[in-house]
Structure 1
């Protein structure tokens, strides 16, 4: 028999085990935004190398970042992989940050998410990460660490799509923006550990995936 837990109880257990994370792990808004693009399809060790290159070249000054040629930007972010596409995505996001984000702050979360998804290189996961850590909206990120943990917690029998899992959790997602960002960080940090802490538990999602 499994011990059933809710999403909120999972958050509390993770918080008790790992403590507060205070993500996003960068030093400036510009560095955070670039990191959100570079982390796609790679690991943070590779991202950190790229961020270090950019720090040396630009100090993460926005004008200097946007003044980089695409070739120079590609050379600097090469450790993160997929650098040809990511250079375009970085420039697109930083341009939107400069020109649009102040106005987008006034939008509803649903409308804002649609605007973000229209940017080059911004998919569901990156849009939700932006909502969490830049716009401070309460949203759930159904990333690969989450999928793996929830599968181990017997929350579903077949792997759902990103949006299926996100919508299932957000059917009753009573988290503040701070709690939502901490929940995402805790799930990702726990996912990096080889831990059997949740053996014997079953997660009950707010809404069935079937």
Structure 2
């Protein structure tokens, strides 16, 4: 017999188990946005090396970052892998940050997410991370760590798509932006532990089986 929990119980249990996370780890917006692109398909150790290179070269000055020649930018971020595409994506997000983010801040979340999704290199996961940590909108990031944990929590029989899981969680999602940030960070940190702690729990979500 599984112990039944909901998304709010999950947040409380993870907070008790792991403590506050206070993500996103960055000294300024430019570093944070760079990290959100560089973390795609790699680990944070590699991202840290790329970020250190960028800091030495530009001190995360957005004007300097956008003026770096493409081949030099690729060399700086090479530790993160996929450096050709990520250099393109990094320019795209920094350009949107410089030119558009102040205006987009005023948009409702659903329209804002569409704008973010339209930036080259910003897929569903990165869009939700941007909503959470830059725009401080309560959003659920249905990343691989979430999929893995929710599978262990017997939340679904058939693996959902990213958007199916996101929408199922957000159907009853009355978290503040700070709580949503912590939920994402805690799920990711717990996922790195490869723990079987939740094997005897079941998380129920609306319209998810």
Which category describes the TM-score, using the shorter chain as reference length? over 0.9
* Secondary structure, aligned partner of 2:88: helix
| 2:68 matches 1:68 | yes
TM superposition shift of 1:109 = 0.1
What is the CA–CA distance in structure 2 between the aligned matches of 1:149 and 1:27, rounded to whole Å? 30
* Secondary structure, aligned partner of 1:26: coil
Unaligned runs of 5+ in 2: none
Coordinate RMSD, CA, aligned: 0.8
Normalised TM-score (structure 2): 0.98
Unaligned runs of 5+ in 1: none
Q: Which residue of 2 aligns with 1:95?
A: 95
TM superposition shift of 1:199 = 2.4
TM superposition shift of 1:209 = 2.6
Deviations 1:151-204, CA, capped at 9 Å, x for gaps: 011101111100000000000001000000010000000001032221211111
Deviations 1:58-110, CA, capped at 9 Å, x for gaps: 11111111111111110000111111011000000000000000000000000
Q: Which residue of 2 aligns with 1:169?
A: 169
Where in structure 2 are the equivalents of 1:120-199 lying within 5 Å?
120-199=120-199
**After TM superposition, where is structure 1 displaced by more than 6 Å over at least 4 residues in a row?**
none
* Secondary structure, aligned partner of 1:4: strand
* Secondary structure, aligned partner of 1:202: strand
Number of corresponding residues: 209
Normalised TM-score (structure 1): 0.98
TM superposition shift of 1:22 = 0.4
